[in-house]
Amino acid sequence: MGGGRGRRGGALSLWRVLRPGDWSELVGPCSLSRLDSPLHGLLEEIRRGGCPSVVLWGPPGTGKTTIAHLLAEEYGYPVVRLEPGKSVARVLHSVSATVVLLVEEIHHLARNQQDLLLLPIEEGRLVLVGTTTENPGVTLRAPLLSRVRVVEVPPLSASDLSVILDRALRYLREEKGMVLDLDEEERARLIRYAWGDARRLLQMVESLVVGGARGVSVRNRLRQQVSWGGIPHSRSGDDRYLLISALIKSIRGSDPQGAVYWLARLVSAREDPLYLARRLLISASEDVGLADPFALVLASACYQACSVVGYPECSWFLSETAIYLALAPKSNSAYRALNRAVEAVGRRGPLPVPMHLRNPVTEWHRLAGWGAAYENPHGNPWHLTAQRFLPEELEGERFYEPVLVGAERGLWLRFLRLREAFWSYLQQVEGEEKCKGSDGKSNRDGSGSGSSSVASGD
């Protein structure tokens, strides 16, 4: 077990001190030492005289700002940084020659601010180098996106963070006279708690060295620093939608382990429980559907429960529902049936309601024949009717195709038995009517012959 020792100093700001000053110090997927680095082609273009505007997109603490500064120096133009709260118009007005404009977290720029960048980029008076943690396809205007090159900066791996941790420990020891002894488990835990964020890793190291209480182990101090609420998560960015997509696909794929893990990721980040409950409601209908109609009832109860009980207890309701949906039989027949019907509406237009299905509200409607030929299905033991319920133009169309699993199989087979019995009944009635008709005809023929005989006799 180790601990921190050495003299206390002011704010270390390790993440500032250890920021790479040139490309050789860069660590991670964008390092030029890696053949698959996304920067190789970009740097080659710049060094050949090209001036592409760039937006670096990736999670926090992956080196976007460092890369942005290093790229800005490659262009050979003066570099201007857009300070928070400063308008683009004021910056552009203050420069008279081509400049490189550094904009951190560019997704915060309003639409009109983004529009001001279009013409200068188009005319070559401005080279934009921006960074963002949010999806540029969502947060940036299409005209600006068409003028920049988006470079994705992937998260740092555990081995990348290990290199950065070694640099930090060496700097503390050699430059500050501070020593932080870490065993293998403590080191692994420190890297794991960084969640791919180099800045977070260095801040935790700094806190352990400078702010550690005597007699408290590194492991316990790490545990004190990390809580559920500390997990990085953006409700307005990709995090939310990537995780919810994984949750719903796990449910659809009938994997309760995956479903509860991705739910745990969202719950650990304190995602809005009502948002999660709404998505489970949708899955109950879209993915489980008629195979288990109770799933929708349970999901509705979950939403109601989450609306009156908050964290941490509401997470139990969400877990119960997510696991139930994952275990339930699956059918999307209702979803597909509606899509087919909507497609028919678009293809055939608003077809008129057949006369027998129209409700005769007024006397004029009755005189016009509305509802006159309607047959109420409750008039027979099978509660069915042979009437047509689709517009004549759609006769023979099949929108609903059953999925023969779970409760839907039972519903469909029961319906088939009922319909078969009803058609047998109709055939029997039709046969009886024919017999009656034949008997009547025979009687008429017989009486006619008799009459003829009588007449002949006369």
Per-10-residue mean pLDDT for the chain, 458 residues long? 42 83 93 91 92 93 94 92 84 86 93 93 93 90 95 93 94 87 86 89 86 59 57 64 94 97 91 95 97 97 96 95 98 96 94 93 92 88 88 93 95 92 82 68 48 34
* Cα 430 off chain centre by: 56
Q: Which residue has the tokens 């469909």?
A: 412
- What is the reported pLDDT for 194? 87
In the three-class reduction of DSSP (H, G, I as helix; E, B as strand; rest coil), residue 179 is classed as strand
- Between CA 244 and CA 267 the distance in angstroms is 11
Surface-to-core class of residue 320, CB atoms within 10 Å of its CB (0-12 exposed, 13-18 middle, 19+ buried):
middle
The DSSP symbol for 81 reads E
pLDDT of residue 452: 35
Q: Nearest CA to 204 among 6, 212, 155?
A: 212
- The residues with which 102 forms a beta bridge, in sequence order, are 81, 129
Paired tokens of 289:
């559907």
Residue with tokens 């997109």: 57
CA–CA separation, 349 and 342 (whole Å): 10
Q: Which residues, 6+ apart, have CB-to-CB distance to 392 below 8 Å? A: 354
CA distances from 439 to 426, 429, 431, 433, 446 (A): 20, 15, 12, 10, 10
Q: Say how far apart CA 254 and CA 287 lie, in whole Å.
A: 10
Cross-sheet strand order for the sheet of 99-103: 79-81, 99-103, 126-132, 53-57, 148-152
> What is the per-residue pLDDT for 431?
76
**Residue 299 near residue 281, CB atoms below 8 Å:** yes
Task: Report pLDDT for 225.
Answer: 61
Peptide bond into 350 cis (omega under 30): no
The answer to whether 169 and 176 are in contact (CB under 8 A) is no
- Regarding pTM above 0.75, the answer is no
Backbone phi, psi, residue 80, to 5°? -120, 130
With H, G, I as helix, E, B as strand and everything else as coil, classify residue 126: strand
| Chain centre distance of CA 46 | 37
Token pair 């118009």 in the structure block, residue? 89
Element (H, E) at 130: strand 126-132
Instruction: Return the DSSP state at 292.
Output: -
CA distances from 276 to 38, 201, 231, 321 (A): 35, 30, 17, 11
SS3 361: coil
Asked if 109 contacts 118 with a C-beta cutoff of 8 angstroms, the reply is: no
Query: Which pLDDT belongs to residue 304?
Result: 97
Query: In angstroms, what CA-CA distances link 42 with 74, 77, 202?
Result: 11, 17, 29
Distances (CA, A) of 241 to 62, 235, 271, 303: 21, 8, 11, 19
DSSP-H helix ranges across 99-254 = 111-123, 136-139, 142-145, 158-175, 184-194, 198-210, 218-225, 238-252
18 within 8 A of 164, measured Cβ to Cβ = yes
Give residue 448's pLDDT. Answer: 44
Structure tokens, 75 = 């262009």
pLDDT at 447: 45
- Name which of 205, 212, 159 is nearest 182 in CA terms: 205
Query: What DSSP string describes 144-169?
Result: HHTTEEEEE-PPPPHHHHHHHHHHHH
Burial of 350: CB neighbours in 10 Å, binned 0-12, 13-18, 19+: exposed
- Residues 291, 328: Cα–Cα separation, whole Å: 8
CA 225 – CA 207 distance, rounded (Å): 9
Q: Which residues contact 346 (CB under 8 A, 6 or more apart)?
A: none
